[in-house]
Amino acid sequence: MKPVPLDQLCINTLRMLSIDAVQKAKSGHPGTPLDAAPMAYCLWQRFLRYDPADPDWPNRDRFVLSAGHACALLYSLLYLCGVEAKGASYPSGDRLAVTLDDLKSFRQAGSHCTGHPEYGWTSGVETTTGPLGQGAATSVGMAIAERWLAATYNRPDYDLFSHNVYALCSDGDMMEGLSNEAASLAEHLRLSNLCWIYDDNHITIEGPTGLTFTEDVATRFLAYGWHVERVSDANDLMLLDKAYQTFIDTHDRPTLIIVQSHIGYGAPHKHDTNKAHGEPLGAEEVRLTKEFYGWDPDADFKVPEGVVAHLRAHMGKRGDAAHAAWRKLFAVYRAQYPDLAEQIDQMQQREVPSGWDAALPSFGADAKGLATRDSSGKVMNAISEHVPWLLGGAADLSPSTKTNLEFDFAGDFQAPEAEQAVSYRGRNFHFGLREHAMCAIGNGMSLSKLRPFVSSFLIFTDYCRAALRLSSMMELPLISIWTHDSISLGEDGPTHQPIEQLASFRAMPGMIVLRPADANEVVEAWKVIMHLKDRPICLVLTRQPVPTLDRSTYANAGGVARGAYVLADTPDGKPDVLLLATGSEVALCVAAYEQLKAEDIKARVVSMPSWELFESQPREYRDTVLPPTTTARVAVEEASGFGWERYTGFDGAILALHSFGLSAPSKVVAEHFGFEPAHVVAAAKAQI
Amino acid sequence: MKPVPLDQLCINTLRMLSIDAVQKAKSGHPGTPLDAAPMAYCLWQRFLRYDPADPDWPNRDRFVLSAGHACALLYSLLYLCGVEAKGASYPSGDRLAVTLDDLKSFRQAGSHCTGHPEYGWTSGVETTTGPLGQGAATSVGMAIAERWLAATYNRPDYDLFSHNVYALCSDGDMMEGLSNEAASLAEHLRLSNLCWIYDDNHITIEGPTGLTFTEDVATRFLAYGWHVERVSDANDLMLLDKAYQTFIDTHDRPTLIIVQSHIGYGAPHKHDTNKAHGEPLGAEEVRLTKEFYGWDPDADFKVPEGVVAHLRAHMGKRGDAAHAAWRKLFAVYRAQYPDLAEQIDQMQQREVPSGWDAALPSFGADAKGLATRDSSGKVMNAISEHVPWLLGGAADLSPSTKTNLEFDFAGDFQAPEAEQAVSYRGRNFHFGLREHAMCAIGNGMSLSKLRPFVSSFLIFTDYCRAALRLSSMMELPLISIWTHDSISLGEDGPTHQPIEQLASFRAMPGMIVLRPADANEVVEAWKVIMHLKDRPICLVLTRQPVPTLDRSTYANAGGVARGAYVLADTPDGKPDVLLLATGSEVALCVAAYEQLKAEDIKARVVSMPSWELFESQPREYRDTVLPPTTTARVAVEEASGFGWERYTGFDGAILALHSFGLSAPSKVVAEHFGFEPAHVVAAAKAQI
């Protein structure tokens, strides 16, 4: 073994641990760790402000591995840097985020080294990545959060929030439309705390990127307005160092560092080929690679002496000192600004400030009623005024989704230099027609412990499901608000009328779908939302007015919290037929119920705004609402009927859609598809 | 009324018809028709080669209205140009695609002027648009199709295919990641027959685009490698004319024409504001707008004399002549190349050439078996060799999805100048990590009557659902192939393991989901696929090997065509319990069946590869497969159980997933979640 300087030894240790982990697992991606180790090392060792003893320190720099397939590199870093475990996934408490045993059991059940990085399961993983583009877009949300926190909570001499956000991106990350959307917005917002490192290794799974990707990425980012740096050799620490320093010194725009690299660097037969990407090198190639690096080919999972100490002496020491200084600063800040400090504490715990519900409206009975998008807009405004970190916006639809925060001090979130009237303290976001980036950015903001909401029409969830799925997987309480929720949106027609979207979210693990029936159910929906800490929610709202039900006649809307409740019933509580509905179809069922009642037919209306909340109730409650012996049932929803059989069984009736919608005025559309009291009444009678 | 030259009169007629239609409907988007009418007029009147008498002429130029909300403009064009109705939506035959009555009933039930343009319902609408970015990306597929058709069927002196593809795009189209992906690929492929017209009116729904969109679009497109033209005044026909001519004269890359325009041009109070975008101008503003244009403010839906004649004299005459010349050329071509001409005919009719199944493999029983992605790769290759226009690729995953066409003459679809070994005749496409663009491009290719397939992992359907939904709405037989279809993909873990995706497509109207159980079901699946003419299909395949069932013991795989069939049964055909499964879980149920049989328990295995095909069978058949009296049922699927209650009722058992997956080897994952014969056996016994 030829001697190598300590930096190089650390870098090669990252490389060798990564290829050993992949080889032992007989599964994984060795090529990127081999090429990107110097980029990650240089950043962590010389720049990242990160305390290994507390990976949750709010003012830490963030490192996002958007190229999630290269996770062996991240795990090796976490291990060598001695990052400690924190969080619910570590019942035993005192341990490292990643142990050598975890690395040796890479991609095996129980290991904290999973096949792609999983937030919440492995401390130090800042966000779950793997589906390409997500990490990059999420990092924009983290950078936004830092700007907002700094603008809102920093005070003269108190730079509580001052961190940077880095994302390591692959060729694939650059190709995905998601990252394009996010990059365009990041520059518009002039997020100078954001740095993307593009590992330009020219290889994807099908072969050289020249097969399909020949654009000039640097010029594209210049077109957005980013600062662009080039590093012509991924192994040149001096060039890398200079590029990172230039990012630090750039104060008016985000930075892209394009690093020319060689996938599988050092693997003699796989270097620069797609063979290095997604499969183990093979035992013999691992030996040859180790020889290339002057490593003992027989030593697996070897950490040479001096490596850990070298990382501690720089990366560790810097992070420790920065965190200690911050703690001290925060203690003084707390004395001077106790209210603000308390807000920061609450935010970190995902708690709701007391008094959040001081201005909650309630709505009187009103046959004409109002659209649930309108009542939600009122309720959300009433809450937001009392929850400083509740903030968000729409994908160019806020006038339609009614999600604009309208109180005086709400303001627009914009780069301060753009206009005098706006600043990074603003709470209204203009995401543009970029639904996918909006949701990934929402995840990033939530990961930084803000309480973001995002919004568009329900149909456009089709553009951003992948990000919403990650909200659910990461257990983030992202609030997503989807209006124009059925064919009753009317004239815009089938391209805008959701059909299968409700079912598709009900099938998604962890996601809560909540479709309130009237203004008072909207109030209750927001009570549920505000107390969610670890689940995302889709709040599904109408474009068209729906009656505000008379709660002195029908049951209190508080039942929303249990997901489903008996809204109208027979006096003896023994109905012959159940009418089941959500959202705007509840009023339709109430109308049918009144007709049936007039004919002495014993019906019950069950409002079912959230199946997920209902399923989590005890069986006893569920059986009270839906008595198992009452199998005469009619479910009504202006959407695909898919899934309703859960509540109607083989024999119940489902009034739903079997096709795409129709372009016509709202009432005409509803009638065309049979959403009229008479049809519900007829179906109920046929059931008995 | 001051006199206006004829061109201007035509343009203003388009504008006035559009705002009248919107005003009468009390719904719609007047602003873009007012600003974009000159761009559309100049193109149609002076450049578009389009025969109003035959909107299906295969070599017509395509005009895609990606800004679908501006459909009143398109309908006004179709009406004034006298485009004739063709297709199944016109039972009466001889009529115009859009009549004055249609315009007067804009956005009303039954009108051919729907709220957004709908392909198949309105002749002359080249693709359904509305969700932004879709039209632009779809236009890339049409341009690809032209290049492929030209390279494959043109012969010296026979330029059968030589058309151009134009797409009119809004600010929103430019922001969506989808269009970014498509633009990058369009230049890589050097599609010089593609022209995007960007209506740069600086206004979206929330306000000026400066709120969120400040990138330099021209430079971005230059970074892709496009030719970029600027037109500084949307009303200057001379500048527009020059820009289109430059596109025609540009032979090595696609062209973007950026047209500076003013939304709501001519509406005195709404001009240049978001008030002009998505709501009628109002009666008074309509009057004032008409006055601005020197129009009689009391004349609604007025078409001044000379307008129709002027369009006929240029646009109509040019199209008629071009089509007549083409017909003559094709007749001579047919005499010289009868086989090729027949192929073109068959393609236009969406027919399958005889002999397509000449080389179909069949697979012998094999307990070890092979992955359905592998068997599908073999079958698809065997078919493709005999179906010249079956072609496609993957989003950088063809080595994993096994969708590469491997026969000698398949080749890669690439710009001929890039490499000598490739050309526009190639049938393997490299879409890059651009799933959404891939599917929209697939739609465009299908609209041009090719038979495209697209492919990726099932999880990545989350990136492209919006385009797949349009396949279904347009009734296009797009073949989409999704592998790595369950948690059994193993180590890549939860980010890559689909859970809710099957349910989400089963809930989508029109879409066929087909998840074959073994190699012979794959053969039958492809037989179904090849005969589809008007429905898209998701073919869902395993990563891991599945046994090839012994069809002398179990039923013939031909039952796939009926969606579900009895695979294994009791001798008397009177089972006590039904085991229901799809794909890889069928073999699991067969193993359980054998164990139950050994214990003298009467079970039946039903293979259910496609619920949609099964639901379209007569009730009699369905009741034979799933006897209503046999309510002891166990459904098994490595996915969300959502929706299975349709077949299990209140009391059946569903062995499925209730959470995200796990990173571990395939078998470990399956066992972890209970997908083992013992669990199926136990569930079956508990049912009886």
At B423-453, the pLDDT tens digits run 999 999 999 999 999 999 999 999 999 999 9
Same domain, yes or no, for B493 and B610?
no
Chain A hits for B214, Cβ within 8 Å = 187-188, 225
CB contact under 8 A, B659 and A510: yes
Please answer yes or no on whether B212 and A432 come within 8 Å at the CB atom: yes
For B246-303, write each residue's pLDDT tens digit. Answer: 999 999 999 999 999 999 999 999 999 999 999 999 999 999 999 999 999 999 999 9
Which of A106, A198, A396, A611 would best serve as a mutation to test chain B binding (most B beta carbons within 10 A)?
A396
Give yes or no for residue B526 having a pLDDT over 80.
Answer: yes
Residue A420's pLDDT band (cuts 50, 70, 90): low
Q: Please say whether the beta carbons of B495 and A107 come within 8 A.
A: no
CA distances from A284 to A279, A281, A405, B678 (A): 14, 8, 62, 40
**Mean residue pLDDT across chain B:** 96
The alpha-carbon gap from B437 to the nearest alpha carbon of chain A, in Å, equals 9
Question: Is A12 in a helix, a strand, or coil?
Answer: helix
DSSP conformational letter for B208:
E
Mark A149-175 as b/e (b = at least 16 C-beta within 10 Å). Answer: bbebbeeeeeebbebbbbbbbbbbbbb
What angle do helix axes B6-25 and B31-46 make, rounded to 10 degrees?
140
pLDDT number for residue A3: 45
B contact residues 42-101, partner A, Cβ 8 Å cutoff: 68
- Chain B touched by A7 (CB under 8 Å): no
**Which residues in chain A have Cβ-Cβ distances shorter than 8 Å to B133?**
433
Domain boundary among A526, A547, A568: A547
Residues A178 and A225 occupy one common structural domain? yes
Pair (B540, B572) in one structural domain:
no
Q: Please compute the mean of the pLDDT values over residues A309-314 and round it to a whole number.
A: 97
Q: Pairing relation of β-strands B565-568 and B603-607?
A: antiparallel
Tell whether A535 and A568 lie within a shared domain.
no
| Cross-chain residue pair B495–A68, CB shorter than 8 Å | yes
3-state DSSP assignment of residue B209? helix
Whole-number mean pLDDT of chain A? 96
Q: Which of residues 151-180 of A touch B (CB under 8 A)?
A: 171-172, 175-180
Question: Cα dihedral angle (B12, B18, B19, B25), rounded to 10 degrees?
Answer: 160
B234 and B139 within one domain: yes
Mean pLDDT to the nearest integer, A318-341: 98
Amino acid identity for residue B418 in this structure: A
**What type of residue is A494?**
P
Task: Find the mean pLDDT for residues B217-233.
Answer: 98
Is the distance from CB of B20 to CB of B300 less than 8 angstroms?
Answer: yes
Mean per-residue pLDDT, B635-645: 98
For residues B497 and B536, state if they share a domain. Answer: yes
What is the CATH number for A618?
3.40.50.920
**Residue B252 in domain:** yes
Determine, yes or no, domain membership for A112.
yes
The span from the CA of B631 to the CA of B577, in Å, is: 7
Query: How many angstroms separate the CA atoms of B83 and B85, rounded?
Result: 7
pLDDT band at residue B93 using 50, 70 and 90 as cut-offs:
low
pLDDT at B664 over 50: yes
Task: Give the integer Cα–Cα distance in Å for B37 and B264.
Answer: 11
B445 vs B439: CA distance, rounded Å: 10
B530 lies in the same domain as B383: yes
The DSSP element (H or E) to which A11 belongs, if any, is helix A6-25
The distance of A385 to chain B (nearest Cα, Å) reads 22
Q: What is the torsional sign of CA A26, A29, A35, A36?
A: negative
Strand segments (E) across A291-431: 366-371, 390-394, 428-430
Is B508 in CB contact (< 8 Å) with chain A? yes
Q: What interhelical angle do B283-292 and B6-25 show, nearest 10? A: 180
- Is residue B355 situated within a structural domain? no
Judge whether A173 and A32 are in contact, CB under 8 Å: no
User: Active-site residue A305, yes or no?
Assistant: no
* Angstroms from A517 CA to nearest CA on chain B: 23
Chain B (112-141) residues lying within 8 Å, Cβ to Cβ, of chain A: 114-116, 118, 128-133
Question: Would you state the structure tokens that stand for residue B619, as one six-digit string?
Answer: 């009730």
Confidence of residue A91 (pLDDT cuts 50, 70, 90): low
pLDDT of residue B402: 98
Looking up tokens 């000039």 gives: A216
**Which residues pair with residue B513 across a beta bridge?**
B538
Where a domain ends, among A547, A582, A607?
A: A547
Q: Which whole-number Å values give the CA distances from A108 to A24, A115, B492, in the listed order?
A: 10, 8, 10
Q: Does residue A88 have a pLDDT over 80?
A: no
B605 neighbors B589 (Cβ within 8 angstroms) = yes
* Cβ atoms < 10 Å from Cβ of A232: 9
Verify that A298 and A401 share a domain, yes or no: no
Model pLDDT, residue B89: 63
A640:B508 CB<8 A: yes
Looking at the fold, whether B487 and B511 belong to one and the same domain comes out as yes
Q: Rounded mean pLDDT of B89-114?
A: 90
ipTM of the complex: 0.97
What are the structure tokens assigned to A388, written together? 């400083």
Is B308 in the A-facing interface, judged by CB distances under 8 Å? no
Q: What percent of chain B has pLDDT over 90?
A: 96
SS3 state of residue B169: strand
Among candidate residues B290, B322, B354, the one where a domain is terminated:
B322
**Average pLDDT in the A451-471 region?**
98
Total of domains in chain A: 3
The pair of structure tokens assigned to B246 is: 């430059």
Asked, for residue B554, whether it belongs to a domain, the answer is: no
Give domain status of residue B336, yes or no.
no
Q: Do A642 and B437 touch (CB under 8 A)?
A: no
Give the whole-angstrom CA distance, residue A438 versus residue A452.
10
Residue type, A587: A
Residue A351 within a domain: no
Query: Could you give the CA distance from residue B365 to residue B373 in angstroms, rounded to a whole number?
Result: 17
> What would the pLDDT profile of A151-198 be if each residue is shown by its tens digit?
999 999 999 999 999 999 999 999 999 999 999 999 999 999 999 999
Asked if A645 reaches chain B (Cβ–Cβ under 8 Å), the answer is yes
Do residues A393 and A299 share a domain?
no
Q: Please name the residues in contact with B260: beta carbons below 8 A apart, sequence gap of 6 or more.
A: B200, B230, B231, B232, B233, B234
A259 close to A237: Cβ distance less than 8 angstroms: no
Interval A43-52: pLDDT, tens = 999 999 999 9
pLDDT of amino acid A94: 79
What is the pLDDT averaged over residues B13-40?
98
> Which residue from A130, A209, A463 is facing B495, i.e. has the nearest CB?
A130
Test B222 with A223 for CB contact under 8 angstroms. Answer: yes
Q: Which of A435, A521, A637, A638 is catalytic?
A: A435
Chain mean position to CA A87? 19
Query: Cβ separation of A214 and B657 shorter than 8 Å?
Result: no
Q: Is B248 on the interface with A (CB under 8 A)?
A: no
Helices (H), B295-371: 307-311, 317-336, 338-348
| Residues of chain B positioned with their CB less than 8 A from the CB of A412 | 211
For residue B350, tell me if it sits in a domain: no
- In this structure, the number of other CB atoms found within 10 A of the CB of residue A573 comes to 11
- Name the residue among B459, B492, B509 with its Cβ closest to that of A499: B509
In Å, how far are A109, B27, B367, B592, B658 from B671, measured between CA atoms?
11, 56, 19, 15, 15
Q: Are residues B635 and B593 in the same domain?
A: yes
**Sign, Cα dihedral of A320, A321, A327, A330:** negative
Q: Which residues of A touch B204 (CB under 8 A)?
A: 396, 432-433
Residues of chain A neighbouring B27 (CB-CB closer than 8 A): 490-491, 665
A180–B118 C-beta distance less than 8 A: no
- Residue A450: burial class (beta carbons within 10 Å; 0-12, 13-18, 19+): buried
| Structure tokens, B514 | 């087909």
Helix A6-25 to helix A31-46 angle, to the nearest 10 degrees? 140
Q: Is A498 on the interface with B (CB under 8 A)?
A: no
What is the Cα–Cα distance from A1 to B228, expressed in whole angstroms?
Answer: 56
Q: What is the DSSP string of A459-528?
A: GGGGGTHHHHHHHHHHT---EEEEES-SGGG-TT-TTT--SSHHHHHHTSTT-EEE--SSHHHHHHHHHH
Q: Is B460 on the interface with A (CB under 8 A)?
A: yes
A620 to chain B nearest CA, in Å? 16
Distance between CA atoms of residues A199 and A190, nearest Å? 23
For tokens 């692959």, the residue is: A170
- For residue A618, the distance in angstroms to the closest alpha carbon of chain B comes to 17
**Is B204 in contact with A433 (Cβ distance < 8 A)?**
yes
Q: Does B277 touch chain A (CB under 8 A)?
A: no
Run of H or E including B673: none
Do residue B213 and residue A432 have CB atoms under 8 angstroms apart?
yes
Radius of gyration over every alpha carbon of chain B, rounded to an integer in angstroms: 28
SS3 of residue A83 by DSSP: coil
Q: Contacts of residue B637 in chain A, CB cutoff 8 Å?
A: none
A496 — contact with chain B (CB < 8 Å)?
yes
* Statement: residue A577 has pLDDT above 90: yes
Q: Among A136-140, A279-283, B343-347, B419-423, whose mean pLDDT is lowest?
A: B419-423
A62 neighbors A36 (Cβ within 8 angstroms)? no
Size of interface A-B (CB pairs under 8 A): 350
Residue A28 neighbours by CB under 8 Å, 6+ apart:
A21, A22, A69, A72, A106, A107, A115, A278, A279, A280, B491
Element (H, E) at B312: none
Q: Tell me, what's the pLDDT at A4? A: 62
Rounded average pLDDT over A305-321: 97
Q: Are residues B439 and B498 in the same domain?
A: yes
| Under 8 Å between Cβ of A284 and A269 | no
User: Is A339 buried (19+), middle (13-18) or exposed (0-12) by CB count in 10 A?
Assistant: exposed
Say if A532 falls within a structural domain.
Answer: yes
pLDDT greater than 50 at residue A1: no
Is residue A107 less than 8 Å (CB to CB) from chain B? Answer: yes
User: Could you tell me the residue range of the domain that residue B638 belongs to?
Assistant: 562-687
A40-78 b/e (C-beta count within 10 Å ≥ 16 → b): bbbbbbbbbbbbbebbebbbbbbbbbbbbbbbbbbbbbb
Q: Cβ A462–B469 below 8 Å, yes or no?
A: yes
Residues A48 and A77 sit within 8 Å (Cβ to Cβ) = no
H helices within B531-655, ranges in order?
Answer: 585-598, 611-615, 619-625, 645-648
Mind listing the pLDDT tens digit for each residue in A626-679?
A: 999 999 999 999 999 999 999 999 999 999 999 999 999 999 999 999 999 999
B435, B524, B585, B638: the catalytic one is: B435
CB contact under 8 A, B663 and A115: yes
Domain CATH number, residue B307: 3.40.50.970
